[in-house]
Amino acid sequence: MQNNNCASVLKSAVQINKPEYMFLKKNSQKKKKLKKKWFRSNLYTLIVIFMLVLLALLSFCIALIGYHNFTKYFTNEYNDSVLKTAVTASYLVDGSRIPYYMEHGKDSEDYQETEYLLTRLCNSEGMSVIYVMTISDDYKMTTSVFNCLNDESTYTKWELGYQVKTSDVEYEKAYRKMYEEGLESATVVRIENLNSGKPHVTALVPLKDENGKVTGILHVQRYVTELNSIRRKYLNQLGVTAVILMLFSALVAAIFLRKEVVDPIKKISQEAERFAKDNSRNPKGVGAEISHVREISSLACSIDKMEYDTLKYVEDITNMTKESERIGTELNVASNIQLGLLPSDFPAFPDKPEFEIYASMTPAKEVGGDFYDFFLIDDDHLAFLIADVSDKGIGAAFFMAIAKTIIKTRALTGASPAEILAAADSIISKKNPAGMFVTVWLAVLNLKTGHVVACNAGHDYPAILQRKGQEGFVIEKTDHGPPVAFLPDMTFPNLEFDLRPGDRLFLYTDGLNEAKSVSGERFGVQRILDVLNEHTEDNEENTLKAMEKAVRTFSGEEPQFDDMTMLGLTYKGRTE
């Protein structure tokens, strides 16, 4: 009851907040749509905007560089003109007479004449003021000797002997170098931080007496008001020109982009959408002539080729699928035929209590190269064998059928296993263009006595369980010959031993002991013996099925890479 109340409260809370939630959700979706719309602006608009921004940045950089260089060049021109005027003016002033001018300047005719000449020079060269100052020992105070103003100057004329503090650190440094280091000229540029003063350039030249001693400093000053007006005019002209060029460039670029980029890309996009929808080829194609831009032309050709290749690929896949289905059907028939060649009815000989036999084959592909066989040569002799062809698949299956037929045909003549395999080797080696071979373990069992005559043609050694004097299955290495059809005209040795009632044989191909786990470890002979020894009292069918289960558990997800064939035989003897 309490849980139901909690559920109803939560439900009502959700219903109360639902309108607010829907409002927030709609706003969120609206914002997302706006973002998508912004980021999905068409290519044409983006490129034009990008070009305008790029041209604006370029114009700004050009203006900035031009402004800087123009200011530097114009300032240098001012410096040169002022300095030349200062040098000229220095020839008009006799440096050795400055001490005299300080005492008798107003009454001296040459002082008045020099002042007149300096004033004329100031007006003729467009300078704002030319003045001569004596400098104190600490370079911080100056005393006026000459002060010649331009007729249009707004300065107040300094009288002879007027003292004023050194106006700037740069002046002080220049004075010090001229008095102490012999500096011949200097210029001071003052354009910014002038309070109410006008921007100007001042040239300084030392005046000396006949002994080379500096007696005063001649200053020539010029307003640089023209600099600001000219720079402003330069920026205005540059700005107008840049705007015109930007608009013209944007127009040309827009026309070019629409014709050679945007419209062709739209056509290519439309063709791609059409192909994805209709899955049919456009007989005219997009064509390389759609644009003069190489990349877009190449893209158009790629679209045409993609359509052709895709349709061709679909056609090929369709044909391959049909062919694969046909081959699959044929392989299934071949697999059934191959399995039909092997004994598969168990118990195999219900009327023969002398022995029990069971065998199985699991091919790695649809058809395999392993095979086994067992058959009665007569009432008292059983032939049984296991073999492994040197390959897998269809070719190995054909080779297996031939080898099996030859071996069985020869065995029914009553020949020994060595003679049987030698005959098979001779027949197969003569016509073996593929160079294939087969390993075989073949035996003939005397059902009366338990005597076995066997021959090993390069095959794995079998496991044997002998009840008398032996606790479990073992594998013994014995003499063997080469594989059948490996080399022509080879000899094969016979091997003889006896089985007592209850003794067992286990034959297998290397697909069993070489089966791999996911980590790459092999199943190995020791695991084969362990499984066999766990099932010494079972019948042959249960023993082989236990072996199959052990291999599957060991391999896990690792796919089978080789055919796996097993044959088990128990000799029971006759009970006459």
Q: What is the pLDDT of residues 114-160, one digit of tens each?
A: 999 999 999 999 899 999 999 999 999 999 999 999 988 888 889 99
% pLDDT > 90, the chain: 42
| pLDDT for position 437 | 93
Query: ∠ CA 280-283-287 to the nearest 5 degrees?
Result: 110
A 10 A CB-CB count for 202 gives 26
Average pLDDT over residues 250-270: 77
Reply yes or no on whether the pLDDT at 519 is more than 80: yes
Reply yes or no on whether the pLDDT at 484 is more than 50: yes
Q: Which residue has the higher pLDDT, 89 or 291?
A: 89
Q: Which residue has the higher pLDDT, 470 or 204?
A: 204
Reply yes or no on whether the pLDDT at 94 is more than 70: yes
Which of 33-47, 405-419, 456-470, 552-566 has the least mean pLDDT? 33-47
A 10 A CB-CB count for 214 gives 19
What contacts 486, CB < 8 A, 6 or more positions away?
Answer: 437, 458
Mean pLDDT, all residues of the chain: 82
Average pLDDT over residues 545-567: 91
Average pLDDT over residues 77-84: 84
| pLDDT for position 274 | 79
Q: Check the CA dihedral 82-87-93-94 and report its sign.
A: positive
Average pLDDT over residues 484-509: 92
CA distance 355 to 376: 12
Structure tokens at 254: 């827009």
Neighbour-count burial for 87-98, b at 16+ CB within 10 Å, e otherwise: eebbebbbbebb
pLDDT of 173-209, one tens digit each? 999 999 999 899 998 888 765 666 678 889 999 999 9
Which of 321-330, 401-410, 418-427, 556-565 has the least mean pLDDT? 321-330
Q: What are phi and psi of 500, to 5 degrees?
A: -105, 160
Torsion of CA 418, 420, 422, 428, to 10 degrees: -150
- Which amino acid appears at position 551 of this protein? V
Q: Which residue has the higher pLDDT, 362 or 66?
A: 362
Max mean pLDDT among 302-311, 342-351, 490-499 falls in 490-499
Q: Which residue has the higher pLDDT, 294 or 448?
A: 448
Average pLDDT over residues 442-466: 96
| pLDDT for position 388 | 92
| pLDDT for position 336 | 60
Structure tokens at 436: 């294939």
3-state DSSP call for residue 195? coil
3-state DSSP call for residue 502? coil
Reply yes or no on whether the pLDDT at 33 is more than 60: no
Which of 21-25, 264-268, 315-319 has the least mean pLDDT? 21-25
| pLDDT for position 74 | 67
A 10 A CB-CB count for 452 gives 22
Structure tokens at 428: 């197969």
| pLDDT for position 457 | 95
Reply yes or no on whether the pLDDT at 228 is more than 70: no
Max mean pLDDT among 310-324, 434-448, 560-574 falls in 434-448
Reply yes or no on whether the pLDDT at 543 is more than 80: yes
The secondary structure of residue 95, as a DSSP letter, is G
| pLDDT for position 16 | 40
% pLDDT > 70, the chain: 84
| pLDDT for position 1 | 41
| pLDDT for position 576 | 57
